[in-house]
Amino acid sequence: MSGCTRQISAPEVEAGGVHWPCLLPQHGPGKKHERPIVLADWQRSIVTDRPGDFLRGLFHSDGARFTNRVTTRGKVYVYPRYMFSNRSADIMGLCQWALDLLGVGWRMNMPYSLSVARREGVAVLDRHVGPKH
């Protein structure tokens, strides 16, 4: 960025301790798609009460909202769509579960990717997920 004199900084936060795995049992060594990702009962209770907040985190980390363009029999259809992709079957299952809690229809469009394309579902996600910052 030539000519840019503005510096952007962010605070750095560190925390250490042996009890982090008690708070975040999903954390562990190795790739997340190769180990179990299971919510503790207290986490499941929070997600049940606030699935939109959980979905916001999932879609902001591993999802996207974009404009889809499809041509069928010469007619062009343009509509917003959400996609979520993750190789962890457990994380994908949690996303599907949270979408079901909100009544949002979804479909698997590839083995590791789901799509929300119906107008009603996109509107619900727009209210809960919002833009990435």
Task: List the single range of 4-8, 72-76, 117-121 with lowest mean pLDDT.
Answer: 4-8
Q: What is the 3-state secondary structure (H, E, C) of the chain?
A: CCCCCCCCCCCCCCCCCCCHHHHCCCCCCCCHHHCCCCCCHHHHHHHHHCHHHHHHHHHHHHEEEEEEEEEECCEEEEEEEEEEECCCHHHHHHHHHHHHHHCCCCEEEECCEEEECCHHHHHHHHHHCCCCC
Q: Which residue has the higher pLDDT, 18 or 107?
A: 107
| Stronger pLDDT, 77 or 19, i.e. the higher one | 77
pLDDT number for residue 48: 98
Please say if the pLDDT value at position 3 is more than 70: no
pLDDT of residue 36: 76
pLDDT confidence of 28, banded at 50, 70, 90?
low
Q: With 80 as the cut, is the pLDDT of residue 41 above it?
A: yes
Could you tell me the domains of the chain?
37-128 (3.10.28.10)
Supply the pLDDT for residue 9.
76
The pLDDT value given to residue 67: 94
Is the pTM higher than 0.85? The answer reads: no
